[in-house]
């Protein structure tokens, strides 16, 4: 059997994504045959070598799981939280170890994908694949046509210009605006920051789709396995 990069093997075991696996290696959490390894270029034999993460033996996943969740507000998108806040995994009752693809912040609700397929998760989180994530935001104040055009063309947040967004004004409710915005990047709190830049503070934010995968009739706090068609969409969009 061919040798495999250590971070790829960790991702294929369902521990975490490849990107985060690299962090585990660099921080000294990974051992190969009892010896701590901190070199990212390390290769192992999946058949002959014993790999542990925090002294727990890992093995490659035999069956991948793909789930979608309608995340409520008030949950963090992590496996564990240092402040003991509720995590999205508290809502999913399965034995297999899974983790989120990307993130939704504490006060954002809506569609979140989770899997134990670390290789796919790593690729889908990369902006080069241009998978649009669509959100519905309710903001303070009425948004202007000028602000909508700014969002469409990209705005400066954290010394970084965002990629062009797809923006659609849905309706005004009193002195509030309901707007639909689609982005393919995934910077921290990006939609909130983009709307702040144009002067519209976000009151509520909900993600309704990840590419072709939508919330559908999934109730808040509920989850289900992705359909074959939804899984095929993910696989098509992570091919090199």
CA distance 118 to 8: 8
DSSP state, residue 88: G
Contact partners, residue 181, CB within 8 Å, separation at least 6:
134, 135, 137, 151, 165, 166, 167, 168, 191, 194, 195
Q: 78: phi > 0 → left, psi -120 to 50 → alpha, else beta; which?
A: beta
Rounded to whole angstroms, the maximal C-alpha distance in the chain is 66
Provide the edge-to-edge strand list for the sheet that holds 35-36: 35-36, 30-32, 51-53, 56-57
Phi and psi at 205, nearest 5°, equal: -145, 130
CA distance 111 to 207: 5
Query: Which of these is catalytic: 54, 90, 93, 105?
Result: 105
* End-to-end Cα distance, the chain: 23
For residue 105, indicate whether it is catalytic. yes
Active-site residues: which are they?
105
């Amino acid at each position: 059997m061919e040798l495999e990069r250590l971070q790829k093997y960790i991702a294929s075991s369902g521990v975490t994504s490849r990107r985060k696996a690299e962090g585990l290696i660099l921080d000294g959490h990974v051992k190969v045959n009892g010896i701590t390894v901190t070199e990212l270029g390390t290769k192992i034999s999946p058949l002959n070598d014993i790999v542990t993460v925090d002294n727990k033996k890992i093995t490659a996943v035999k069956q991948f799981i793909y789930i979608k969740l309608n995340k409520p507000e008030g949950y963090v998108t992590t496996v564990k939280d240092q402040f003991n806040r509720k995590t999205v995994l508290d809502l999913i009752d399965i034995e297999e170890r899974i983790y989120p693809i990307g993130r939704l912040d504490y006060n954002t609700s809506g569609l979140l994908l989770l899997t134990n397929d670390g290789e796919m998760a790593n690729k889908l989180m990369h902006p080069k694949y241009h998978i649009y994530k669509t959100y519905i935001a309710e903001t303070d104040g009425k948004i202007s046509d000028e602000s909508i055009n700014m969002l469409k063309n990209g705005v400066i947040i954290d010394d970084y210009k965002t990629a062009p967004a797809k923006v659609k004004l849905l309706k005004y409710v009193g002195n509030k605006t309901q707007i639909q915005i689609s982005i393919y990047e995934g910077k921290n709190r990006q939609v909130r920051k983009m709307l702040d830049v144009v002067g519209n503070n976000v009151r509520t934010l909900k993600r309704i789709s990840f590419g072709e995968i939508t919330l559908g009739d999934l109730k808040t706090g509920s989850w289900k396995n992705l359909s074959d068609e939804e899984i095929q969409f993910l696989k098509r969009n992570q091919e090199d």
